[in-house]
C-alpha cells in the first residue's frame, strides 16, 4: 500500500519524468501520489525522508546502489545523472534495515497516436457515459475529460477505473455538463494516461455525445392481433432519457417466418402473424444513433393458440 504525502502535478509539454514519492510504495496505484518533473538526459536529485545527519543507503528495484557513472550520493540525497531507461524503477532509501521512503521513477516517452484503446458509450443523453480502456499490460490507467486534462493542467479531475472487465479491460464512469435539450456544438475530449514498464503514455479521443449514444435494448411489452397482422408494443429501455416525446426512439423488428424459416425485418410495429419468433432493437430517431443490442429472441404463439385465447376472452389476444 502507498502512503501518500502530497497531491501535486507538474508536467513538461514534451518528454519528461515523473517521480512518485511514498513512504511505502506499490505500483498498482501510481497515480494517487506526489509527482514532480525532470527532463530526459538531465540530472535530478532525490531526497530521503530522513533526518539530515542520518546515515542512509539507496536501492534501485531492491538492489543496493553505489556511486557510479549514473548516480552520486551526497549525504541523504541521491543524484541521478543519466535519466533514461536503465535508471527507471523503484528508488528506496534505507537506514539499516528500515526503509524510510520509496520513489518510483517513470519516464514519459511517447504520445500514443491511436485512440482505439478508448471506447466510449452513452446509454442516453443524461449527464454520464462510460469509457472502456482496452489496452493490456498497463500497471495503472486514469482518464480525464475536457481541455484541462488534454493540456495536462493541474485542475484536471482525473478519474480512476470503477470496474475491471474481462481480458484486463477497465471501465470508467465519466460525467459531462452538456445540456440534453440544446443543439450539440462542442466535442467531448477524453484523455488517458497509462503506466507500463516504468514509462507513462498518453492518448486522447474526441467525439460528439450523439456519436456515442447507444440505447439499451428496448422492452417488448405485448403482441396483439390486428386483422391479418400482429401489432408489437415496444417500450423504451428504463435507462433512456425522458420525456420520451422529446427523446424519440425508432424500433426495428426482426422476425422468422413460420412457413419457410426466412428472416425478415420491419421498421413498422405491424408485422405478419405467421411468425415463429421475433426480437427488437432501437435507436435515436432524430440523429440516427447506434442501434441498441437486440433483445433476446421471443417465441411467438401460434395463430391457433391465439385464436383459442381470443374465443375464450372475447378480446384481442396478446402474448
DSSP code string of 71-90: EEEETTEEEE-S-SGGG-EE
The set of cell numbers assigned to 12 is 513538461
* Structural domain boundaries enclosing 306: 219-313
pLDDT tens digits, 223-274: 888 988 999 999 999 999 999 999 999 999 999 999 999 999 999 999 999 9
Q: Does 28 score more than 50 pLDDT?
A: no
Q: For the ranges 84-88, 125-129, 214-218, 289-293, which has the lowest average pLDDT?
A: 84-88
Per the CB < 8 A criterion, the answer to whether 174 and 127 are in contact is: no
Share of the chain above pLDDT 70, in %: 79
- Taking CA atoms, 234 is separated from 148, 185, 261, 268, in Å, by 42, 32, 24, 11
Q: State how many domains the chain has.
A: 3
User: Given this model, what pLDDT does residue 108 score?
Assistant: 67
Q: Is 309 helix (H, G, I), strand (E, B) or coil?
A: helix
> Residue 318 falls within a domain, yes or no?
no
Tell me the CATH number at 83: 2.60.40.10
User: Given this model, what pLDDT does residue 106 score?
Assistant: 76
- C-alpha closest to that of 72 among 81, 64, 62, 85: 81
The set of cell numbers assigned to 311 is 374465443
**Do 223 and 309 share a domain, yes or no?**
yes
Q: What is the mean pLDDT of the chain?
A: 80
**Do 53 and 82 share a domain, yes or no?**
yes
pLDDT tier, 313 (very low <50, low <70, confident <90, very high otherwise): low
CA separation for the pair 224, 9 (Å, rounded): 62
pLDDT tens digits, 29-56: 556 554 444 566 777 788 898 888 889 9
**Do 176 and 90 share a domain, yes or no?**
no
pLDDT tens digits, 9-23: 333 333 344 443 333
pLDDT tens digits, 213-236: 999 999 999 988 898 899 999 999
> Residue 7 falls within a domain, yes or no?
no
Q: Average pLDDT of 108-131?
A: 84
Amino acid at each position: 500500500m502507498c502512503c501518500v504525502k502530497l497531491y501535486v502535478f507538474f508536467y513538461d509539454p514534451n518528454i519528461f519524468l515523473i517521480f512518485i514519492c511514498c513512504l511505502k510504495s506499490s505500483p498498482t496505484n501510481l497515480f494517487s501520489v506526489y509527482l514532480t518533473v525532470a527532463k530526459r538526459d538531465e540530472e535530478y536529485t532525490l531526497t530521503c525522508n530522513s533526518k539530515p545527519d542520518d546515515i542512509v543507503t539507496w536501492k534501485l528495484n531492491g538492489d543496493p546502489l553505489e556511486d557510479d557513472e549514473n548516480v552520486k550520493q551526497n549525504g541523504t540525497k541521491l543524484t541521478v545523472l543519466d535519466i533514461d531507461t536503465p535508471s527507471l524503477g523503484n528508488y528506496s532509501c534505507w537506514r539499516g534495515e528500515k526503509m524510510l521512503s520509496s520513489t518510483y521513477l517513470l519516464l514519459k516517452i511517447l504520445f500514443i497516436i491511436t485512440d482505439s484503446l478508448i471506447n466510449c458509450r452513452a446509454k442516453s443523453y443524461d449527464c454520464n457515459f462510460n469509457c472502456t480502456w482496452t489496452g493490456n499490460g498497463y500497471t495503472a490507467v486514469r482518464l480525464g475529460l475536457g481541455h484541462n486534462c488534454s493540456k495536462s493542467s493541474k485542475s484536471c479531475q482525473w478519474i480512476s477505473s470503477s470496474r475491471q472487465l474481462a481480458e484486463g479491460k477497465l471501465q470508467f464512469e465519466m460525467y459531462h455538463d452538456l445540456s440534453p435539450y440544446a443543439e450539440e456544438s462542442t466535442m467531448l475530449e477524453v484523455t488517458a494516461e497509462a503506466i507500463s514498464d516504468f514509462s507513462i503514455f498518453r492518448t486522447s479521443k474526441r467525439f460528439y455525445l450523439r456519436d456515442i449514444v447507444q440505447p439499451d435494448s428496448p422492452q417488448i411489452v405485448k403482441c396483439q392481433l390486428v386483422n391479418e397482422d400482429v401489432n408489437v408494443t415496444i417500450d423504451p429501455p428504463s435507462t433512456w432519457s425522458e420525456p420520451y416525446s422529446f427523446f424519440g426512439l425508432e424500433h426495428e423488428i426482426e422476425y422468422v417466418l413460420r412457413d419457410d424459416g426466412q428472416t425478415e425485418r420491419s421498421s413498422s410495429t405491424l408485422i405478419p402473424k405467421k411468425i415463429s419468433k421475433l426480437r427488437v432493437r432501437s435507436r435515436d430517431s432524430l440523429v440516427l444513433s447506434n442501434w441498441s443490442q437486440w433483445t433476446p429472441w421471443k417465441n411467438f404463439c401460434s395463430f391457433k393458440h391465439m385464436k383459442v385465447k381470443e374465443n375464450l376472452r372475447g378480446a384481442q389476444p396478446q402474448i
